[in-house]
Amino acid sequence: MSEETPNANVRVLTDADAVARAVAARFVEIACEAVGARGRFSVALSGGTTPRRVYELLSGEEFSARVEWAKVHVFFGDERCVPPDDAESNYRMARESLLSRVPIPTQNVHRMIGEGDAVANARLYEDELRAFFRTDESPIEELPRFDLALLGMGDDGHTASLFPHSPALEERQAWVVANRIEKFNAFRLTLTARAINHAAHVLFIVTGAGKAERLREVLEGGRDPLRLPSQLIKPTSGTLDWYVDRAASSKLSDGRQSAGHE
């Protein structure tokens, strides 16, 4: 375990489908605990392609009936600056694979507005988060406290839309920003590392050999968060789990590959 991620727990599963099943099971577990303890479950979904299988499983008969969807509030970790029906939209992916298939109330789906003024939309989303999370008991400095934040990792080490050397990496106050991504010549909306790190549970989903070297760098290399933004994710008091398949874990230290293997 490098000094970078002292509390990171790495679970190695046989393949991408086994990873998706394990993540779906963990999602249900955390949802049941949150609803039982606080009457609601707040989750920030990841975009990209990897989580699609997780969402499909969650909407299927094996898992769906175990979640009280009326008490689930879905947020997004990041969003491309496109309309909700665009092929690039993370909201569209989640709607197709999960949200349109489970009985979650419309008002419980908190979409990041991708279309229009990115800076204004980031501020709107932060206002929505503040309205949702602020309660009499919650100290503002510990918010937003998602019950679960699902994250992916790009092969460049980014997570959410926290890309290497992008302005959002230095953000210390805001919970949501419009991040300028040079390589796309575009803005993306993203939760900041600060907002993600207040979550009760943070869960990375990483599969495929193409991410093996970067995963090794992030988990076992030196601290270099501007180049490897996934290293910024270190929950202040919550748990941090990496659900990876054998292919993605192939360059991790032997101890790690065998210890968590399932």
Binding residues for ligand 6PG (CB under 6 A): 46-50, 77-78, 90, 152-154, 158-161
Min separation Cβ 29 and ligand 6PG, Å: 22
* Pair 111, 101: CB distance under 8 Å: no
Nearer to ligand 6PG, 50 or 121 (CB): 50
Residue closer to ligand 6PG by CB (options 48, 221) is 48
* Exposure on the CB side of residue 153, measured as CA atoms within 13 A: 33
Q: Mind spelling out the 3-state secondary structure of 171-188? A: CCCCCEEEEEEHHHCEEE
Query: Rg of the chain over CA atoms, in angstroms?
Result: 17
- What is the secondary structure of 129-181 as a DSSP string? HHHHH--TTS-GGG----SEEEEE--TTS-BTTB-TT-GGGG--S-SEEEEEE
Least distance CB 79 / ligand 6PG (angstroms): 7
Closer CB to ligand 6PG, residue 77 or residue 164? Answer: 77
Q: How far is the CB of 214 from ligand 6PG (least distance, A)?
A: 11
In whole angstroms, the minimum distance from the beta carbon of 176 to ligand 6PG comes to 14
Closest CB 204 distance from ligand 6PG, rounded Å: 9
* Residue number with CB closer to ligand 6PG (71 or 246): 246
* Dihedral Cα 229, 235, 236, 237, nearest 10 deg: -170
For residue 9, is it left (φ>0), alpha (ψ between -120 and 50) or beta? beta
145/164 Cα distance (integer angstroms): 25
| Cβ-proximal residue to ligand 6PG, closest one | 152
Given the complex with ligand 6PG, which of 67 and 153 has the nearer CB atom? Answer: 153
**Cβ 112 to ligand 6PG, closest distance in Å?**
10
47 versus 144: smaller Cβ distance to ligand 6PG = 47
